[in-house]
Amino acid sequence: MSFHVAGPAHPLILDDVRGAQKMLSGVAKLTPMEGSRYLSDLVGAPVHLKCENLQRTGSFKLRGAYVRISGLRPEERAAGVVAASAGNHAQGVALASALLGVRSTVFMPVGAPLPKVAATREYGADVRLRGQVVDESLAAARDYARDTGAVFIHPFDHPDIIAGQGTVGLEILEQCPEVRTIIVGMGGGGLAAGIAVAVKALRPDVRIIGVQAEGAAAYPPSLEAGRPVAIEAPATMADGIKVGCPGEVPFAIVEELVDEVRTVSEGALSSALLLCLERAKLVVEPAGVSTVAALLSEPRSVHGPVVAVLSGGNVDPLLMQRILRHGMAAAGRYLSLRLRLADRPGALATLLSVLSTLDANVLDVAHVRTDPRLGLTEVEVELQLETKGREHCAEVERALRDGGYRVMS
């Protein structure tokens, strides 16, 4: 689904982004641009991946955080800074503060992935776990700022943050001067807004497309209303773009300069993550692959050359495992089956032999004898299989039924 956008003048100019680029020299990495043959064939034009997942701290967030904290007055620096985040912004603020010699406190949800909590602490922040969701951590951070005088560092709703993120756009134009379309993930909108300010000033012909997860898409209703509108209970695996309401500052820029906002499904996100891992050999978090998910969903709807921004790579290993399994299922490469067998010696071995001839890789087997739904001479077998695609899944199920097996699901 897509939404056309247009609107009033924006509050930042190209010089703001260029100033941020000078400030970030020697701090933020010039992240690589990688071509994708698979996506290029799918789209029918060159597709390049801007790898901010390889940035310091694993995401673009360091850029904006460093610029924001660099701009603080001496007395503000002395008071320290405070932020709230489930991961990427937390790490960006922690490292930026350490580099600038500023004390940082970061509030994170109690259920934040342990690797992200550990990394934030290792970058030097005082991490405090508060609340079950980021909104509750955000409230705690604001209370802390009010009580202590620490400067609150918003993840996206500040001109300095947006200027810092906009340096990604300048790099894209340097690395791929022939670009015609830039696709960027959107939560609060800071990255998309910054890229739009930089790119539209230099190349107004370049089309900029923002992407949101369907379950956390606050921009479409906001753009329709002409002002930031909060949505209730945003839900998506892409926690990096799970934002319930756009920021005032980025919203004005997105409304003015971003050409289109699209939404993508959870299935598309998991398929995109799997694709980046297998084809591009890149570990990217769900929010970071939203741009690839948009290309997979509507490959022939963009003009190339295309640059898709991979905004981050901080993904919890346990979540990665679940997402990969979801992605394999969405691609028809993971099949879950329940079968009823006669309870006699050798029955399971015979079944596994049949699956071997069908070239289906058995990942897991559960053998159930005590379910009251089973007859006295029956057992139920739950199988997790790795397959080659949807046609292969259908072939496996058909062959089992033709072989006399009772396939329950």
Which residues are identified as catalytic?
A: 61, 311
> Which residues on adjacent β-strands are paired with residue 81?
104, 151
d(CA 28, CA 290): 23
CA separation for the pair 157, 249 (Å, rounded) = 6
Please say whether the dihedral angle defined by the alpha carbons of residues 252, 58, 182 and 194, taken in this order, is positive or negative. positive
CB 343 within 8 A of CB 371: no
Residue 356 has φ and ψ, to the nearest 5°, of -65, -40
Express the helix, strand and coil content of the chain in percent, nearest 5 each.
45, 20, 35
To which H or E segment does residue 340 belong?
strand 334-342
CA-to-CA distance for 42 and 138, rounded, in angstroms?
Answer: 41
In order, the DSSP letters of 47-107 are EEEEEGGGSGGGBTHHHHHHHHHHTS-HHHHHH-EEEE-SSHHHHHHHHHHHHHT--EEEE
Q: Which two tokens stand for residue 127?
A: 């991490």
Compute CA 67 distance to the chain's CA centroid, rounded to the nearest angstrom.
Answer: 23
- CA 106, 195, 168, 277 torsion-angle sign: positive
Distant-in-sequence, close-in-space partners of 384: CB < 8 Å, separation ≥ 6: 334, 335, 336, 362, 363, 364, 365
What count of other Cβ atoms lies within 10 Å of the Cβ of residue 114?
11
Q: Which two tokens stand for residue 117?
A: 């909590």
Cα 179 to Cα 122: distance, rounded to the nearest angstrom: 38
Give the C-alpha separation, 8 to 255, whole Å: 7
